[in-house]
Structure 1
């Protein structure tokens, strides 16, 4: 028998099958597109996969009222604020007033899993506090799924029923706090925060510690500072947001709920009595549109206790897709969310960060920036322009196309192998870029004000 002939036919059949496999549609498993079989990949001309919309089809963006002369290599903030001054100028003025008025400057950073566990915000906080004064980790939710690996505070708790806007069922939107959460105490409920020195400085002690709650019934709370003797306070029913606050050289603080009738808790804070405070309001899976569901009355009440000078919005990871072309509905929703925030926090300036680079593997296994990312950035820039706030192109600051892959493969790595999320090293890198941009913007603002007053 001629086995050579059979072997030849078998080889031809396998070769034909592999060549035909190229024409099969791509397979996606759990969000990951499998690489297609292509025996001719080395000789085939690469087909362009860009689906970035032409400029004429993207939203229009007006020119900023003031355009700073940006240093080479720096991505500057584009300030689209008008006479309402909801951009950066009031924030820059507030920073300058720290010296003369010994005041607090508060920054809130609302975002998604990109800043979860205090990534990015921890280093931005440290840089600003070293420059302008301040201490403490700021706002912390009563419970957290990231408490075990958030390095900026030691956070322990027990006896709580937790609810969030991202829950599919079982939450009441009318009860939501500013972070998108609310917490109901059970018997023996407690929460403790302890400062630390292992990651970032100025977090081991603070001067003020607070807990925020609303109660329709009577409340009894006990607090122990530095594990000393407990202090107990009673609170009568109230229609407004309340806080219990203690002062001193605070390294740790523990709150125990002795009695709480019809009471909702929202979070805690460890702050300084002057300088800069940076609050991290990260919410995994959020697109930013959930900000529309938080009651305005709650945000207004929070503003009375904790007014912000700057609100930074970081969203986009849960919006951008590989082939995303039209984000009109998202643009409309984000404009509504910003408008509600502006009404609730009337003295705050606003800075919208673009989505960062997000890479994916093409069918040939090549890493590329998602075209939908670039389209989304233009929509976000248009949102900033239309709402009269400031905008920072974080994608450009990162390095543009393929910068996430560069961060992933850096030694040591600055991002995760999902080519979407940064790690703490990457967070420190990006925080440094924004910090330098903020300082440069402040200098430009002061020069402009001096010129206008001459």
Structure 2
């Protein structure tokens, strides 16, 4: 029997070779139909690339999509976190006001609200000096008619006589409808006086100012006088209208004394200012024992009148010492009230940026008597951050800026000492240290804001 394997292989090879060779035959047509080319390797060949020629003007070019600008933060810096929405109640309006201050007809104003942590102009004195050195301005800003810590405040010499003083923290006798944005009011007797003298011992730009104002409400006629630099006297007569009014004297003012000469019926007074006509003004509104909730009780007409007469570009809220507790971890009850306070301020000051500064570190002793950060502090910081996010304002974590856990102990033990032995309050050296941190964050935030604007305008 013959072996046909070899013949079969040769036959298959010849057939395959013939089929491969047919690929190179010219295209054939039969009765007008083009026969398909025989291509045994068609499945292995790549698809041909068809070039389409067209007029380039007919192509629709898609726009280049710019990546989103991403804010950065320097290593080691605690930056301001901005939770603003379309209402722009974060930091942008304040930054824009600083950038446009040269064309503005008034200074850029900051209202810094807080508790005893900033009492006596601690922290705000150095923040004011830094801002005025960088952006211009002079004067100590707003000073209440009277103060129980007048001798403790080094940024202004403050003297007064002939006043009944009322504070929101008074246990009795406080009329909430009479208070101003400082949560105080002062009832004069005829001849009541308040005097301010600029000081250069503690901080710069305080020795003199450009103008001084006196804020008051009178239901009938009231007569005032202002003596500047112990020589120049200006007299004022105002018809009472029951609304907030202001008397202002201008010049190179080193000291000023305001006197309520007489009034026909009830009058209530609030504060005296020493301001620059441009640059930056920082007003310290500290109320010992306050949690910040009291601001929600200031009558809206009073707040709106202040916005008209003393417009603020930035409102800072720094509270927490009178809220944090050893055993409390849930502070929703507090932040719920503060939502109403912030919305209250938003309505009264529609152009202002709002910055919430958290509570700083505060120490307490554990069962063994060892100092450690009060447990409630960390929880309160997180609730305050959530409050800022909920109300779409800005937030600065003072606790982390100080150094976090146990940082108050380090301030107390530092040489020279920067905090008090109550392990709760800073002193003026500590205030300067924290003011430097906040100032750095503010300036860096402004630089980032300007970069973002330039990028978006490209």
Counterparts of 1:280 and 1:86, CA distance in 2: 21
Which of 410, 416, 419 lines up with 1:415 in the alignment?
A: 419
Q: Distance in 2 between matches of 1:242 and 1:72?
A: 48
Choose the corresponding residue for 1:97, options 100, 120, 131: 100
Q: Does 1:242 align with 2:215?
A: no
Give 1:14-413 correspondences, 5 Å limit: 68-101=71-104, 103-260=106-263, 261-413=265-417
Q: Work out whether residues 357 and 402 of structure 1, in 8 Å CA contact, stay in contact via their aligned partners in 2.
A: yes
Preserved CA contact (<8 Å) 2:358 2:399: yes
Residues 159, 190 of structure 1: 8 Å contact kept: yes
Q: TM-score, normalised by structure 1?
A: 0.85
Partners of 1:357 and 1:110 in 2: CA distance: 18
SS in 2 for 1:178: coil
Q: Give me the whole-angstrom Cα distance separating, in 1, the residues matched to 2:103 and 2:297.
A: 39
Distance 1:369 1:96 in 2: 39
| Deviation for aligned residue 1:101 | 4.0
- Kindly state the Cα deviation for residue 209 of structure 1 after the two structures are TM-superposed: 0.2
CA distance in structure 1 between the partners assigned to 2:105 and 2:126 by the alignment = 23
Aligned partner of 2:25 in structure 1 is: none
Cα distance in 1, alignment partners of residues 267 and 226 from structure 2: 17
Tell me if structure 1 keeps the 8 A contact 2:139–2:276: yes
Q: What is the alpha-carbon distance in structure 1 between the residues aligned to residue 375 and residue 364 of structure 2?
A: 10
Q: Is the 8 A contact 1:97 1:103 kept in 2?
A: no
Q: CA deviation at 1:103?
A: 4.2
The structure number with the bigger radius of gyration is 2
Compute the RMSD of aligned alpha carbons.
1.1
Q: Using the alignment, how far apart are the partners of 1:201 and 1:269 within structure 2?
A: 17
Q: Distance in 1 between matches of 2:419 and 2:137?
A: 29
The whole-number CA distance in structure 2 between the counterparts of 1:203 and 1:66 is 40
Measure the CA separation in 1 of the matches of 2:176 and 2:170: 10
**Distance in structure 2 (CA, Å) of the matches to 1:101 and 1:145:** 36
Shift in Å at residue 210 of structure 1? 0.3
Higher mean Cα deviation, 232-241 or 133-142?
Answer: 232-241
Residue 328 of structure 1, CA deviation: 1.2
Q: Return the alpha-carbon distance in structure 2 between the equivalents of residues 253 and 420 of structure 1.
A: 35
Q: Does 1:432 align with 2:436?
A: yes
Distance 2:285 2:127 in 1: 14
Is the Cα contact below 8 Å between 1:86 and 1:349 reproduced in 2?
Answer: yes
Indicate if the aligned counterparts of 2:191 and 2:262 stay in contact, CA closer than 8 A: no
- Encode CA deviations 1:144-186: one digit per residue, 9 max, x unaligned: 0110110000000001000011111011000011100000001
Q: State the SS of the aligned residue for 1:311.
A: strand
Relative distance call for 1:447 and 1:308 in structure 2 (3 A) is same
Counterpart contact for 1:173–1:294, Cα < 8 Å: yes
Decide whether the 8 Å contact of 1:324 with 1:373 is kept in 2. Answer: no
Preserved contact between residue 157 and residue 196 of structure 2 (Cα < 8 Å): yes
Separation of aligned partners in 2, 1:281 and 1:136: 15
Quote the offset at 1:94 in angstroms.
Answer: 0.6
8 Å CA contact retained: 1:102, 1:275: no
Instruction: Output one character per residue of 1:347-402: Cα deviation in whole Å (capped at 9) or x when no partner.
Output: 00000001000011112121100110000011100110000000000000000000
Q: Identify unmatched segments of 5+ residues in structure 2.
A: 1-67
Q: C-alpha deviations, 1:411-451, integer Å up to 9, x for none?
A: 01000000000000000000000000011101111111111
Match of 2:164, SS? strand
* CA positional deviation for 1:188: 2.7
- 1:104 Cα deviation (Å)? 1.3
Displacement, 1:230? 2.5
Aligned length: 390
Q: TM-score, normalised by structure 2?
A: 0.84
